[in-house]
Structure 1
Amino acid sequence: MKQIFALFLLTIASAIPSLAQAQLLSPQDSGQQPVDRIIAVVEDDVILQSELNDAVAAIQQQYANQPGQLPPIDVLRRQVLDRLILMKLQLQRADDQGVRVSDSDVDQAAQSVAEQNKMTPDQLRAAVEQSGMSYAAYRQQLHDQLVVQKLHQSVVRDSVNVTESEVNNLLNSSNYKTGEVHLAHIQITIPSGASAADIQAAQTKAEQALAAVKGGMAFKAAAIRFSDAPDALDGGDLGWRRIDEIPSAFVDTISSLKPGEVSGILHGPTGFHIIQLEDQRAQSKQMVTEFHARQILVRPSELLSATQAQQKAQDLYNRIVNKHEDFSKIAKDNSNDDTTANAGGDMGWFQQNEWGTLVAQKLQDLKDGEVSQPFQSEAGWHIIQRLGTRSSDMTNQIARDQARQSIGNRKADQAYDDFLRGLRSSSYVKILAPELQDPNSTDTKASS
């Protein structure tokens, strides 16, 4: 059960059910009279008390076995409310930009969650409902998360570009280091257009967080209590990252840490950071298996029905296997694959999955020189002959690919973080409940 929420509901407080789905607390659940109220106005939408209650309850359930990891309830409620506000703003912006997610997209996401938990879709539904959540609300959360993913892709797509010279510069840099590190962090964000008082308040909060860790508080608990990064309620866990993905300003500090150690306060472009090195591992040599094969594709057309295409493929297979005709000549004369036909169907050397999962499976089952029975894909009917395999050292190529990816990820993270800060600072947000206003905040939009 917990694995389901680890995959998609770890950020349950970020997902916002529609107003039609917001439920009043029952007297049996709360011990109080059922009361719902608007606690925050977010542009032209609102957040209800019931939404916040549900989100907080989900976080408390997540940490049911470690309640001491959570901050005081007033701090927790403000943190969750901040998540709800940010999610609401992202969903509104996505709607303005015409971002849409279909029911089939949600079905596919639910199917993926079920598969990762080794469940059927019906078992997933039962598990969700057993947890106390309606399946409709669960699907709404999946929908919202997919919308935000598409918004993220839209934002970074137009602002992130990686050149070959940047890749070369990174690989040739004396500061370039290989290997991977498992990190956790505490981030105290400085608001966009911050005043001197804002910066001082953020630094003071960072100092309090570092003092708490040095005083014996578990780093995860300190992240939950002090961090205002989106992953704060996950204990600030950043997972495993390649060293080349980490902002260069932090690499030297992280490289000087031993597993379990915590950095001092680091000043970055978005605020103050405290980093813990959880673990590290060296980069190993990257060996991959490559295949050499050739293929014939028979594609149905207006002149060739699906049944006729299948029969033609079978006839070609019989000519190759039973009559021992030349595969290359038959491919040149009959294959409908424009990329390989003129080369006698030769696909060259490639990694197993480069031509899709169906071809990959057939290659795995064949021996060198063996020809597959015709099989069908969306493109048509295929005949594959495996010519050979080899083990290739792809360390350098993978290093280039990883360098390119890490530069892109770094730029994407920065671009979306800037987008979120700008979105938050430029949007109308009014918190109506006095007990939920941050006493240290100088954000007049959020409290006035």
Structure 2
Amino acid sequence: MKKLLASLLVGAFLIAPAYAQQLAPIDGIAVVVDEDVILQSELDRAVANIRSQYAGRTEQLPPPGVLERQVAERLVLLKLQVARAKSTGVRVSDQEVDQTIGAIAAQNQMNVDQLTAQLARDGTSMPQFRDSIRDELLVQRLRQRLAQTQISVSDAEVDAALAAQQGAGSQYHLAHILVALPEGATPEQIATAQSKIEGVRDLIQRGEMDFAAAAVRYSDSPNALEGGDLGWRSADEIPSAFADMVKGMRPGQVTEPIRGPSGFQLLQVVESRDAAQAGPSLVTQYQASHILIRADDPANVAKAKAKADTLHARLVGGADFAALARENSEDPSSKSRGGDLGWFTQDQFGPDFGSQVAALSDGGISAPFRTQAGWHIVKRTGSRQADVGDESQRAQIRETIGRRKLEDEWNRFLREMRGEAFVDFRTGAADAEQADSTTNGN
């Protein structure tokens, strides 16, 4: 949860200044995105935010027109994701936004009033910040929905990954540069992209620019402004096209250009290290039952909450939990068992659900609380320390494979969504690629 909140806070401070349409005076349109627009003032504030993050090292930033185009593309993608989330029924309530903001304030050792004051000093109003948090949560839920509906990992894949891990214990800190290609690229577009990626590699090889600076200036990846950083990855988290190549590289080395599904890439091994050998894996497990009242339709949220409150009052009055769950729960997987969920770890059903269970004592019943699934009442019946050993290792590998698949599918989804959208740049950013196309070593 802390990692998520930190990520939301960083994203919010980057994006929030760009979302003040309702507060800003009428100004020029920078980009038309389907039926929405990005105002020039939004784009200017977002660019200024990036420049402030690079204070003291602005030489790493691309020329103004290229930077404006990169930031504009980020805003375009954000608008498209938010619009897609809303059109597919994803919703974020005011209460959920309030809870997230409260948690962010607490994580930064502030109350909400202090956070509001800090935002104002940074040039962001609380309404802007709330909008950015809501957008981040919408995108997060859109990604979760994609994971639930499109991503699966078979036992055979887990077995193969376990076998591949035998004798391999290295992790790699990676960075990449992407020169993107559109779907159905023409031979001319392919040749141009290949020439550009080769030119970028020549600049790096000659020492005229380090890898991170080249990524900021030339990469088409969404993480370009972070220097193309991909973080630490184990061998099974690296796409098979790169894995064998990476294993033979030393820190600082850069691959030859590689053609992938999204375009041409350069990959750098920043660092490498030996992963710690797995030992006994002790985790806290909980046994609990729950009653779920779904609230998928925003119009029924209040009705679902009222029903949950009524059931909770009956439980406080001595009603049998299992009987009420069988009669009223809308979770088909546990309803027939009186709501019994068996033994599970705290994060197995999501952080919101897990934190409620962890806060109870054995035998305790929670007040109604809401998650993305609906309103829950939970009765905790037991807790224990368990050595999950091989089970834990398999779960970690399954999660790793799923995360890699989701990353690939999400990137494909974003490319497809961007390719289908009507996007009209009304600023100098539209000519940025031409202004910075001389990357053939000149």
Do both proteins adopt the same fold according to a TM-score greater than 0.5, normalized to the shorter chain?
A: yes
Q: Count matched residues.
A: 389
Preserved contact between residue 181 and residue 242 of structure 1 (Cα < 8 Å): yes
The code of the aligned residue for 2:262 comes to: T
* Bigger Rg over Cα: 1
Preserved contact between residue 33 and residue 422 of structure 2 (Cα < 8 Å): yes
2: CA distance, partners of 1:212 / 1:337: 65
Picking from 270, 277, 280, the partner of 1:284 is 277
TM-score (ref. length: structure 2) = 0.74
Picking from 402, 426, 448, the partner of 2:396 is 402
The code of the aligned residue for 2:22 comes to: A
Indicate the residue corresponding to 2:21 in structure 1.
Answer: 19
The secondary structure found in structure 1 opposite 2:231 is strand
Unpaired stretches in structure 2, ≥5 consecutive residues: 291-308, 327-340, 368-376, 436-442
Preserved contact between residue 262 and residue 274 of structure 1 (Cα < 8 Å): yes
Deviation at 1:88, TM superposition (A): 2.0
1: CA distance, partners of 2:346 / 2:141: 29
1: CA distance, partners of 2:422 / 2:286: 60
Deviation at 1:240, TM superposition (A): 2.1
The code of the aligned residue for 1:276 comes to: Q
Cα distance 1:350–1:260, how it changes in 2: closer, same or farther (>3 A)? Answer: same
Cα distance 1:232–1:348, how it changes in 2: closer, same or farther (>3 A)? Answer: closer
1:78 partnered with 2:69: yes
Preserved contact between residue 12 and residue 55 of structure 1 (Cα < 8 Å): no
The secondary structure found in structure 2 opposite 1:129 is helix
> Comparing 134-143 with 6-15, which one deviates more in the overlay?
6-15
1: CA distance, partners of 2:81 / 2:381: 48
1: CA distance, partners of 2:425 / 2:21: 17
Cα distance 1:285–1:126, how it changes in 2: closer, same or farther (>3 A)? Answer: same
Cα distance 1:40–1:258, how it changes in 2: closer, same or farther (>3 A)? Answer: same
2: CA distance, partners of 1:243 / 1:201: 32
The secondary structure found in structure 2 opposite 1:57 is helix
Preserved contact between residue 259 and residue 278 of structure 1 (Cα < 8 Å): yes
Indicate the residue corresponding to 1:377 in structure 2.
Answer: 366
Deviation at 1:52, TM superposition (A): 1.0
Indicate the residue corresponding to 2:226 in structure 1.
Answer: 234
Larger relative CO (CA 8 A, sep 6+): 1 or 2?
Answer: 2
Q: Give 1:418-437 correspondences, 5 Å limit.
A: 418-434=412-428, 436-437=430-431
Deviation at 1:93, TM superposition (A): 2.3
The secondary structure found in structure 1 opposite 2:221 is coil
Picking from 145, 160, 164, the partner of 2:155 is 164
Deviations 1:115-161 (A, max 9, x none): 33233222222221111111211111111121222222233432222
Indicate the residue corresponding to 1:197 in structure 2.
Answer: 188
Indicate the residue corresponding to 1:106 in structure 2.
Answer: 97
- Give me the identity figure in percent: 36
Preserved contact between residue 431 and residue 437 of structure 1 (Cα < 8 Å): no
Preserved contact between residue 12 and residue 133 of structure 2 (Cα < 8 Å): no
Indicate the residue corresponding to 1:317 in structure 2.
Answer: none
Deviation at 1:405, TM superposition (A): 1.7
1: CA distance, partners of 2:79 / 2:316: 52
The secondary structure found in structure 2 opposite 1:283 is coil
1: CA distance, partners of 2:202 / 2:25: 40
Deviations 1:162-194 (A, max 9, x none): 111222223234899444322221111111121
Q: Give 1:124-139 correspondences, 5 Å limit.
A: 124-139=115-130
Indicate the residue corresponding to 2:248 in structure 1.
Answer: 256
Indicate the residue corresponding to 1:65 in structure 2.
Answer: 56
2: CA distance, partners of 1:433 / 1:10: 24
Deviations 1:270-295 (A, max 9, x none): 11112222223313214233569999
Cα distance 1:349–1:413, how it changes in 2: closer, same or farther (>3 A)? Answer: closer
Preserved contact between residue 287 and residue 344 of structure 2 (Cα < 8 Å): no
TM-score (ref. length: structure 1) = 0.73
Indicate the residue corresponding to 1:183 in structure 2.
Answer: 174
Preserved contact between residue 173 and residue 270 of structure 2 (Cα < 8 Å): yes
Indicate the residue corresponding to 2:439 in structure 1.
Answer: none
The secondary structure found in structure 2 opposite 1:182 is strand
Deviations 1:230-262 (A, max 9, x none): 111122121222321110111112212223332
2: CA distance, partners of 1:110 / 1:296: 30
Deviation at 1:205, TM superposition (A): 2.1
Cα distance 1:143–1:10, how it changes in 2: closer, same or farther (>3 A)? Answer: closer
1: CA distance, partners of 2:345 / 2:150: 31
Q: Give 1:337-352 correspondences, 5 Å limit.
A: none
Indicate the residue corresponding to 2:410 in structure 1.
Answer: 416
Cα distance 1:168–1:218, how it changes in 2: closer, same or farther (>3 A)? Answer: same
Indicate the residue corresponding to 1:8 in structure 2.
Answer: 9
Cα distance 1:294–1:244, how it changes in 2: closer, same or farther (>3 A)? Answer: closer
The secondary structure found in structure 2 opposite 1:406 is helix
The code of the aligned residue for 2:109 comes to: K
Picking from 213, 220, 225, the partner of 2:212 is 220
2: CA distance, partners of 1:22 / 1:176: 59
The code of the aligned residue for 2:427 comes to: A
Deviation at 1:96, TM superposition (A): 2.4
The code of the aligned residue for 1:251 comes to: A
Preserved contact between residue 179 and residue 265 of structure 2 (Cα < 8 Å): yes
Preserved contact between residue 179 and residue 242 of structure 1 (Cα < 8 Å): yes
2: CA distance, partners of 1:295 / 1:407: 29
Indicate the residue corresponding to 2:370 in structure 1.
Answer: none
Unpaired stretches in structure 1, ≥5 consecutive residues: 25-35, 313-333, 339-346, 364-371, 442-448
